[in-house]
Amino acid sequence: MNEPIKTDVLIIGAGPCGLFAVFELGLLDMKAHLVDILDKIGGQCAELYPEKPIYDIPGVPFTTAHGLVDALMAQIKPFGPTFHLQEMVETIEKVGDPLFRVKTDQGKLFEAKVVLIAAGGGSFQPKRPPIPGIEAYEEKSVFYSVRKMEAFRDQRILIVGGGDSALDWTLNLAPIASHLTLLHRREQFRAAPDSVNKMMALAGEGKIDFVLGQVSALEGEGGRIAKAIVKRNDGSDFHIACDALLPFFGLTMKLGPVADWGIELKDGELIPVDTAAFESSVPGIFAIGDINWYPGKLKLILCGFHEAALAAQKAYHYVFPDKRLVFQYTTSSSSLQKKLGVR
Ligand SMILES: Cc1cc2nc3c(=O)[nH]c(=O)nc-3n(C[C@H](O)[C@H](O)[C@H](O)COP(=O)(O)OP(=O)(O)OC[C@H]3O[C@@H](n4cnc5c(N)ncnc54)[C@H](O)[C@@H]3O)c2cc1C
């Protein structure tokens, strides 16, 4: 069996909350390793909406999801976290008080005094629309997320859906598409009203088409779409010529192995925590970000940042049981500034 990698804290998930936890732990001298199923750092920000704007990060009036991940990486650099990407944490075994042995699907073993679960919604997967044969077009001309907007320049784009992703990508891609159609099955939207108003304005100016109906079939060759057959609500058919189809039918958050870690769950999918330290029902296992639940929980990045700060305070007592924790500001503490490499 492999020798375990020993660390103070093992963070499961390298989304924004897992990344910021490295910073809060690092200020308190705790070293972290992070494991993530994805091949990249940044969680939902990197996988689902890298180029979309974010306006509600405190003190940052505007950034993109990609920009936020880059900034977090710069912020945690002084603490030298180690990333283990494309590995899924499969098991957590309690072997001490507290000491955990954590194993990934690639056979890697960790021994950590504290486990911090920042696993978001687990392994998230886009919902596939019920269109026969759509698999043959996936990742060639059917995409469930937009990694690089430029890849869609001058294309005829068909976006399907009525939620935030469908509306946001309609607004973002309209200026670079040669033609863009938004297709939704009804006139009511789940998206933010402001986005709906902006989309309607574009449609009113003739810059995009907004059409009611549902895709019933695709035609094309070698994975390249030529047209989508659309069924109107009255049952009649027509087609929309397109080069790319972007269906946004929401995500299935597959919790994955989290459910088997012996931690109490709420509704089978969220980890209830206390709001003093964001610790789970198992002492030494913390949960922050989208994966946790407590009364009033909001799935916002800024909430996960706060949770990381408080979890680190309690984690300190498990990692350094004999030490006293002194509260300090980065503004005025020379010892914190040394750790940050700015003094
Ligand atoms: C389109 C869109 C727009 C959004 N806009 C905003 C916004 O403007 N402002 C805002 O505050 N929030 C926004 N959000 C929500 C925000 O992205 C989430 O709240 C945030 O990403 C949660 O961060 P997290 O670190 O908890 O989890 P995530 O970002 O979900 O990251 C969790 C990571 O854990 C990994 N993981 C899961 N299970 C395992 C396992 N067993 N082993 C290893 N790795 C695992 C996953 O692969 C993933 O990378 C938006 C979300 C979407 C989809």
10 φ, ψ to 5°?
Answer: -105, 120
For the cut 70, the answer to whether the pLDDT of residue 1 exceeds it is: no
Average pLDDT estimate for 324-337: 96
Of 118, 123, 110, the residue nearest 33 (C-alpha): 110
For the cut 90, the answer to whether the pLDDT of residue 147 exceeds it is: no
CB 12 near ligand 1, within 6 Å: yes
Tokens representing 332 are: 């005025």
Q: What is the pLDDT of residues 150-186, one digit of tens each?
A: 999 999 999 999 998 899 999 999 999 999 999 999 9
Q: Give the SS3 label for residue 23.
A: helix
- What CA–CA distance (Å, rounded) separates 190 from 175? 23
Give the number of other Cβ atoms within 10 Å of residue 145's Cβ: 15
Exposure on the CB side of residue 26, measured as CA atoms within 13 A: 23
Q: Give the SS3 label for residue 77.
A: helix
For the cut 80, the answer to whether the pLDDT of residue 123 exceeds it is: no
CB 13 near ligand 1, within 6 Å: yes
For the cut 80, the answer to whether the pLDDT of residue 252 exceeds it is: no
CB 257 near ligand 1, within 6 Å: yes
Which one of 91, 301, 306 would you pick to mutate in the ligand 1 pocket, going by the greatest count of ligand atoms within 8 A of its CB? 301
What pLDDT does residue 253 have?
65
Q: What is the pLDDT of residues 254-301, one digit of tens each?
A: 778 888 899 999 998 899 999 999 999 999 999 999 999 999 999 999
Give the angle 158-149-171 at the CA atoms, nearest 5°: 55
CB 102 near ligand 1, within 6 Å: no
Give pTM, 2 decimals.
0.77
Q: What is the pLDDT of residues 68-85, one digit of tens each?
A: 999 999 999 999 999 999
Residue pair 13/291 in contact (Cβ under 8 Å)? The answer is yes
For the cut 70, the answer to whether the pLDDT of residue 124 exceeds it is: no
What pLDDT does residue 49 have?
86
For the cut 80, the answer to whether the pLDDT of residue 95 exceeds it is: yes
Q: Give the SS3 label for residue 143.
A: coil
250 Rama sector, left if φ>0, alpha if ψ -120 to 50, beta otherwise: left
Name, in order, each residue with C-beta under 8 angstroms of 281's C-beta and a sequence gap of 6 or more: 263, 264, 272
Of 143, 138, 135, the residue nearest 165 (C-alpha): 143
Lowest mean pLDDT among 5-19, 47-61, 217-231, 291-305: 47-61
CB 46 near ligand 1, within 6 Å: no
Residue type for position 227: K
329 band by pLDDT with thresholds 50, 70 and 90? very high
What pLDDT does residue 250 have?
80
Return the higher-pLDDT residue of 210 and 164: 210
What pLDDT does residue 198 have?
98
What pLDDT does residue 207 have?
97
As a whole number, the mean pLDDT across the chain is: 95
Chain-centre distance for alpha carbon 74:
19
- What CA–CA distance (Å, rounded) separates 118 from 288? 5
Q: How close is the Cα of 123 to the center of ligand 1, in Å?
A: 10
